Amino acid sequence: MSGRRSEEALRRREFLQLILGTSAGLLLSPTEAFLKTAGRRETGLKVLVLGMDGLDTILVNRFIEAGLLPHFKKLAASGTFLPLGSSIPPQSPVAWANFITGTNPGGHAIFDFVHRDPRTYLPVFSASESLPPRHNLKLGKYHIPLSGGEIRNLRRGRAFWQILEDYDIPATIFKIPSNYPPVETRQKTFSGMGTPDLKGYYGLFNYYTNEYKTVTEEYGGGGRVHYVYVIGNRVEAKIPGPNNPFVKGNPETFVDFRVFIDPVHQVAKISLQGQEFILREKEWSGWKRIRFEFIPTQTVSGICQFYLKEVRPKFKLYVSPINIDPADPALPLSTPESYSRELAKKFGPFFTKGLPADTAALENDVLDEKEFLYQDELVYQESMAMLEDELKNFRSGLLFFYFSNADQRQHMFFRLIDRDHPAYNEKLASEFGQVIEKTYQQMDRALQLAMEKTDSRTVIIVMSDHGFCPFRKGFNLNTWLLRNGYHVLRPGTKPEEVTLFQTTDWSRSRAYGVGLNALYLNLKGREAGGIVRPEEKQSLLRELARKLEQITDPETGERVILKAYITEEVYSGPYVTEAPDIILGFNRNYRISWNSPLGNFPREIIENNPQKWSGDHMTAPGLIPGVLLANRPSRLEQPALEDVTAGILSLFGIKIPSGMTGRPVF
Amino acid sequence: MLWWLNSALGTLIRIIFMPLASFHPWIAMLVISLLTALLMLFVYKKTSDQAGIKRARERIKAHLLEIRLYQNDFRTQLNSQKELLAANLRYLSYNLKPLLVMIIPIFLLLAQLNLWFSYRIPAKDETFLLKARFIKSVDLMKLNLEVETPAGLQLETPPVRIIDEAEVSWRLRVTGATGKPVIITVDGERYLKSIPATNRSLTRVSPVRVRKNLWQELLHPGEKPLPADSLLTRVELVLPESRLEFAGISFHWLVAYFLLSIIFGFALKGVFRVEI
């Protein structure tokens, strides 16, 4: 762990300043730009992998049987259709890292969306870290970086396309998760899930209105409401941009814009930075490029979309998270660097934020279901156009292409196919109850495109990182630890008012939960205020695992946690010591609650999830396997993600490297 | 009067560019830069004191040599610096006359070239704004306004009226080949705004039509001005900017034009025996 990480932990403002400090630093220091692409050895063999995040085996089966997925059926009949074992825990960054490295988390060091800094107990992002420039020249209020900052991909282990590169086999890796910033390679890669927006968030939308509205601006994302006045049919507002690393205190940058509303018609003209465009009510703008100025010679470019939700009686304007401009990326998006520009030239501006669909806007009722789907449909159409183009140029080696739609829509629409979900709504279900089914059909169309554009010698693999299940109830791990004496707060503290372990008495706390599936012991010699002696560790872990597995929901009688995995027993590799001590494998319908992952102590141990984010994948991995389809027979009966990696290398005749735990599936 | 001058110059440029319309705009840029360089060399030769320029340049060289040779003689150094400055001023004064002769034709030429290189015609399915600006005393809410679009263009929105700026905007979408003008009817008066044709790589685009006004007409020479008594003061198409690309770098046409003209000018000055 870097010596600077403790300073960043969860102090979001600083965290973002670091990210943008780094971006500015990168602007000032040429990096290894314009790397040449990998050797172009004609392999004769072509392997196409369609990575469809969150595709669930049970649903795929059901839809195939219903005749809805003809191309999935055809592919399944030609070779393999099996459940694909996911990672522990089956979270996307962990699972895709398993696939990328062909190992388990002990070999790649991604254990959760969120890790913790053992010196502060505070959460930090698991995927990447940003380091500011080491030296600055201070001129009054200005800070001029004298060296470049750095963004570091925290995933360890070699990516399979780096191994292919060793053998001069060309690969194009499009938007694979857990690869931000893209690792150094001469292959063509574009970063996926984990890529921030221009502010350094996982996605922060802006909402301009003269109506009272609250939205959640949370750790790493969410939204921000800007209350505006409509005076003389005119609105003046600002779009917040990245923090300015050139100015003392790193203030936020802004771009001013004006909205002119017609006195009668439901239509408005928006004017910003010399651009003018008209939107009718309920219309989207398409991509608009905006530039944020740090100092007159240093600017960063972003792209965003406007949606005029309502003109009157209330004014409502949504502005999407500001994506990094692929034509002029302020942060690293691709290898070689020119690949991003090449795509921008071909397709114009496109989504670059890791997970493009704005689930936070739907969650906060800023976008409704129809509006959210419109936005995610843009993502799908864009992906299809890019897939078609990549297929056209696919002559040799490997092509990996990623789709996020099934994952994002299942997260938000599971409530409408699960009548027992607390957020189930009959009316919405009648209108949007088919969304998931239709999304799977869209994935089938992507496969159809791939089948049509490749020859019969191409190995086609369709895979997902995990399946899905309802998220009906949340489990408050820290509250449970508190009630059972494993965690102690200082006297006089009201637990439900605590955030980020602010009043934890670490001299008496033996365990704590940070992240979505992780439990850590307060281990002496590892945690700053550790009290659990190494010789006590094993017995405490077993005691906790046993008790956690015994927890039942008093309302249903169901077990909440199906399996508490002691990581030393399930992980292998050089990074096991960095892992959480226990990974919670929840039962179907359960997940960690919304507040527990960041060190809060809500009142109830188990609480209903009334939110739109209603499907999830944090259970024991055996409950929600991903899916593997291929036009080659599987050599394994129960393959897992890392076996696909080994299988790909094997197809190209490459010997499986020693650190890889996967067994060749093909 | 100014319209006739603009019109004549516009026709001349149109004739020059006519055979180049289907080529890449860089070809037209090379040709017009070369012609400009030739014109400038000719005017420069005819209007400047060539012998004086030669003398001034030689004096400058001599004083520079003097400065190098007498580095240890402070008095001579000072005197050389004074003489060098005087020779430079003399050289500049010889340039003043050709500059004054060329400044107006070049300004008119730049305004014309702006019509050919500054704007990109939106492609099919792209949108752009049509903006009409009125005299301040007009009550926009009482005005009877209509827009008629030709084939290939579709009016997509009702007007957005900005009262305090006396401005009305509409959004248009390109649906096919265009070429005929948009008609704006204001209280029964019809005004035409030209729309460029979309099928050639080099096309003259007039984004703005203005009311009779010397300065405005100089800046926007693409169309006959609106009548002086019209309620409309300006009709504008908000079009995407066009840039010239070379080796992955995009240039504003003006940069390319000046660079190329200077390069051609210096390359050809020996051929035409022009002292610069």
pLDDT tens-place values along chain B, 276 residues long: 788 888 999 999 999 999 998 899 999 999 999 999 999 999 999 999 999 999 999 999 999 999 999 988 888 999 999 999 999 999 999 999 999 999 999 999 999 999 999 998 888 999 999 999 999 999 999 999 999 999 999 999 999 999 999 999 999 999 998 889 999 999 999 999 999 876 678 889 999 999 998 899 999 999 999 999 999 999 999 999 999 988 878 899 999 999 999 999 999 999 999 988
Residue A116 included in any domain: no
Minimum-distance CB partner of A232 among B129, B164, B171 = B164
Residues A381 and A434 in one domain: yes
Among residues A580, A585, A606, the alpha carbon closest in space to that of A594 is found at A606
How far A258 CA lies from chain B's nearest CA (Å)? 12
Q: Which long-range contacts (CB under 8 A, 24 or more apart) does B43-51 make?
A: B43/B98, B43/B101, B43/B102, B44/B98, B44/B102, B44/B274, B44/B276, B45/B272, B45/B273, B45/B274, B47/B97, B47/B98, B47/B101, B48/B94, B48/B95, B48/B97, B48/B98, B48/B275, B49/B94, B49/B97, B50/B274, B50/B275
Closest residue, chain A, to B141 (C-alpha): A263
Q: Which two tokens stand for residue A118?
A: 């053992």
Residue A20 included in any domain: no
Q: Hey, are the CB atoms on B169 and A269 less than 8 Å from each other?
A: yes
Contacts of residue A268 in chain B, CB cutoff 8 Å?
160
Minimum-distance CB partner of A278 among B160, B163, B164 = B160
Query: Which uninterrupted H or E stretch holds A109?
Result: none
Residue A227 included in any domain: no
Residue B275 included in any domain: no
Contacts of residue A277 in chain B, CB cutoff 8 Å?
127, 129, 171
Query: What's the DSSP call for residue A552?
Result: B
* CB distance A577 to A585 below 8 Å: no
Average pLDDT over every residue of A462-467: 98
Q: What pLDDT shows up at residue A13?
A: 38
Range of the domain at A649: 35-110+155-195+354-468+617-666
Task: Indicate the residue type of A630.
Answer: A
* CB distance A150 to A139 below 8 Å: no
C-alpha dihedral sign at A75, A81, A87, A91: positive
Residues B113 and B12 in one domain: yes
* CB distance A124 to A590 below 8 Å: no
Residues A572 and A552 in one domain: yes
Q: Which two tokens stand for residue B7?
A: 């019109």
More confident residue, A130 or A624: A624
Residues B81 and B171 in one domain: no
Query: What's the DSSP call for residue B161?
Result: E
Q: Which two tokens stand for residue A284?
A: 């989207």
Please determine, for residue A391, whether its predicted confidence score (pLDDT) is greater than 80. Answer: yes
d(CA B181, CA A330): 42
Minimum-distance CB partner of A278 among B141, B164, B171 = B171
* CB distance A154 to A133 below 8 Å: no
Q: What pLDDT shows up at residue A146?
A: 82
Residue keyed to tokens 């191309």: A71
In terms of DSSP H, where are the helices of A433-495?
435-453, 477-483
Give A41's pLDDT tier (boundaries 50, 70, 90).
low
Please determine, for residue A14, whether its predicted confidence score (pLDDT) is greater than 60. Answer: no
Residues A453 and A519 in one domain: no
Residues B165 and B101 in one domain: no
DSSP assignment string, B216-240? HHHH-TTSPPBPTT-SEEEEEEE--
Residues A584 and A623 in one domain: no
Q: Hey, are the CB atoms on B169 and A268 less than 8 Å from each other?
A: no
Residues A581 and A644 in one domain: no
Q: Hey, are the CB atoms on B169 and A265 less than 8 Å from each other?
A: no
Average pLDDT over every residue of A592-606: 93
Least confident of A136-140, A152-156, A555-559: A136-140
Contacts of residue A263 in chain B, CB cutoff 8 Å?
141, 161, 163
Q: Which two tokens stand for residue A362?
A: 């739907």
Surface of A (280-309) touching B: CB under 8 A: 280
**ipTM greater than 0.95, yes or no?**
no
Work out the end-to-end distance of chain B between its first and last CA atoms, rounded to an integer number of angstroms.
35
Closest residue, chain B, to A341 (C-alpha): B248
Please determine, for residue A388, whether its predicted confidence score (pLDDT) is greater than 60. Answer: yes
Q: How many A-B residue pairs are in contact by the CB < 8 A criterion?
A: 46
Q: How many other C-beta atoms can be found within 10 angstroms of the C-beta atom of residue A575?
A: 19
Minimum-distance CB partner of B158 among A232, A234, A262 = A262
pTM of the predicted model as reported, rounded to 2 decimal places? 0.90
- Give the mutation candidate from A264, A265, A269 for the B interface (greatest B CB count, under 10 A): A269
Per the document, the length of chain A is 666
Radius of gyration of chain B (CA): 25
d(CA A615, CA A470): 4
Residue A138 included in any domain: no
* CB distance A459 to A45 below 8 Å: yes
Residue B208 included in any domain: yes
Closest residue, chain A, to B128 (C-alpha): A277
Q: Hey, are the CB atoms on A265 and B141 less than 8 Å from each other?
A: no
Q: What pLDDT shows up at residue A39?
A: 54
Residues A665 and A593 in one domain: no
Task: Indicate the residue type of A73.
Answer: K
Q: What pLDDT shows up at residue A329?
A: 96
Among residues A16, A52, A104, the alpha carbon closest in space to that of A627 is found at A52
Residues B99 and B140 in one domain: no
Residues B162 and B135 in one domain: yes
Among residues A232, A240, A5, the alpha carbon closest in space to that of A121 is found at A5
* CB distance A581 to A107 below 8 Å: no
CA of A160: how far to CAs of A98, A233, A643, in Å?
11, 57, 12
Please determine, for residue A61, whether its predicted confidence score (pLDDT) is greater than 90. Answer: yes
Q: Hey, are the CB atoms on B170 and A278 less than 8 Å from each other?
A: yes
Among residues A148, A149, A164, A157, the alpha carbon closest in space to that of A183 is found at A157
Among residues A452, A455, A440, the alpha carbon closest in space to that of A409 is found at A440
Among residues B42, B53, B77, the alpha carbon closest in space to that of B63 is found at B77
Residues B110 and B22 in one domain: yes
Q: In 3-state terms, what secondary structure has residue B141?
A: coil
Query: Which uninterrupted H or E stretch holds A398?
Result: strand A397-403
Residues A479 and A624 in one domain: no
Question: For residue A189, what is the domain's CATH number?
Answer: 3.40.720.10
Please determine, for residue A86, whether its predicted confidence score (pLDDT) is greater than 90. Answer: yes
Residues B79 and B173 in one domain: no
Residue B6 included in any domain: yes
Which regions of chain B does DSSP assign to beta strands (E)?
A: 127-134, 145-148, 153-155, 160-162, 167-174, 182-186, 189-193, 208-210, 232-238, 244-246, 249-251
Please determine, for residue A334, whether its predicted confidence score (pLDDT) is greater than 60. Answer: yes
Residues B106 and B131 in one domain: no
In terms of DSSP H, where are the helices of A66-177?
70-77, 92-101, 105-108, 160-166
Task: Indicate the residue type of A233.
Answer: N
d(CA B178, CA B235): 18
d(CA B8, CA A194): 60
How far B151 CA lies from chain A's nearest CA (Å)? 21
d(CA B65, CA A335): 54
Is residue A654 left, alpha or beta, with left meaning phi > 0 and alpha meaning psi from -120 to 50?
beta
Contacts of residue A265 in chain B, CB cutoff 8 Å?
157-160
pLDDT tens-digit map of A424-436: 999 999 999 999 9
Work out the end-to-end distance of chain A between its first and last CA atoms, rounded to an integer number of angstroms.
37
Closest residue, chain B, to A283 (C-alpha): B157
Residue A247 included in any domain: no
Please determine, for residue A2, whether its predicted confidence score (pLDDT) is greater than 80. Answer: no
d(CA A46, CA A51): 16
Residues B134 and B63 in one domain: no
Minimum-distance CB partner of B161 among A263, A276, A280 = A263
pLDDT tens-digit map of A619-645: 999 999 999 999 999 999 999 999 999
Sort strands A323-324 and A298-310 into parallel, antiparallel or unpaired: antiparallel
Radius of gyration of chain A (CA): 25
Phi, psi of A84, deg, nearest 5? -115, 115
Closest residue, chain B, to A279 (C-alpha): B157
Domain boundary among A616, A635, A650: A616
Q: Name A206's bridge partners.
A: A224, A319
Q: Hey, are the CB atoms on B160 and A277 less than 8 Å from each other?
A: no
How many domains are contained in chain A? 2
Contacts of residue A258 in chain B, CB cutoff 8 Å?
none
Q: How large is the angle between the packed helices A405-413 and A369-392, nearest 10 degrees?
A: 160
d(CA A206, CA A537): 47
Phi, psi of B74, deg, nearest 5? -65, -40
d(CA A240, CA A256): 9
Contacts of residue B171 in chain A, CB cutoff 8 Å?
277-278
Query: Which uninterrupted H or E stretch holds A642?
Result: helix A641-651
Least confident of A132-146, A202-216, A437-451: A132-146
Closest residue, chain B, to A265 (C-alpha): B158
pLDDT tens-digit map of A476-503: 999 999 999 999 999 999 999 999 999 9
Residues A463 and A499 in one domain: no
* CB distance B199 to B183 below 8 Å: no
d(CA A311, CA A282): 9
How far B163 CA lies from chain A's nearest CA (Å)? 9
Q: Hey, are the CB atoms on B159 and A262 less than 8 Å from each other?
A: yes
Residue B106 included in any domain: yes
How many domains are contained in chain B? 2
Surface of A (221-240) touching B: CB under 8 A: 232-234
Please determine, for residue A595, whether its predicted confidence score (pLDDT) is greater than 60. Answer: yes
> Please, what is the average pLDDT of chain A?
92
Q: Hey, are the CB atoms on B163 and A232 less than 8 Å from each other?
A: yes
d(CA A14, CA A564): 34
Among residues A369, A103, A378, A323, the alpha carbon closest in space to that of A203 is found at A323
Residue B273 included in any domain: no
Q: What pLDDT shows up at residue A22?
A: 41
Minimum-distance CB partner of A280 among B131, B157, B238 = B157
Closest residue, chain A, to B126 (C-alpha): A286
Q: What pLDDT shows up at residue A598?
A: 84
Which regions of A168-282 does DSSP assign to beta strands (E)?
A: 171-176, 188-191, 204-209, 217-218, 221-227, 234-243, 252-261, 267-272, 275-280
Please determine, for residue A322, whether its predicted confidence score (pLDDT) is greater than 70. Answer: yes
Give A289's pLDDT tier (boundaries 50, 70, 90).
very high
Residues A387 and A533 in one domain: no
Residue keyed to tokens 């500049």: B92
Residue B78 included in any domain: yes
Three-state DSSP string of A589-621: EEEECCCHHHCCCCCCCEEECCCCCCEECCECH
Q: What pLDDT shows up at residue A38?
A: 53
- Give the mutation candidate from A236, A258, A262, A281 for the B interface (greatest B CB count, under 10 A): A262
Closest residue, chain B, to A233 (C-alpha): B162
A399 CB near a chain B CB, below 8 Å?
A: no
Minimum-distance CB partner of A278 among B129, B141, B163 = B129
Query: Which uninterrupted H or E stretch holds A114?
Result: strand A114-116
Q: What pLDDT shows up at residue B276?
A: 86
pLDDT tens-digit map of A354-374: 999 999 999 999 999 999 999
Residue A303 included in any domain: no
Residue B246 included in any domain: no
- What letters, b where the CB count within 10 A reaches 16 and e where it falls short, cover A529-551? ebebeeeebeebbeebbeebbeb
Residue A185 included in any domain: yes
The whole-angstrom distance between residue B195's C-alpha and the CA centroid of its chain comes to: 19
Peptide bond into A580 cis (omega under 30): no
Residues B199 and B144 in one domain: yes
Residues A464 and A508 in one domain: no
Residues A608 and A623 in one domain: no
Range of the domain at B39: 2-118+252-268
Residues A461 and A512 in one domain: no
Q: What pLDDT shows up at residue A40?
A: 60
Give A188's pLDDT tier (boundaries 50, 70, 90).
very high
Q: What pLDDT shows up at residue B247?
A: 83
Give A17's pLDDT tier (boundaries 50, 70, 90).
very low
Residues B104 and B140 in one domain: no
Contacts of residue A280 in chain B, CB cutoff 8 Å?
156-157
Residues B74 and B112 in one domain: yes
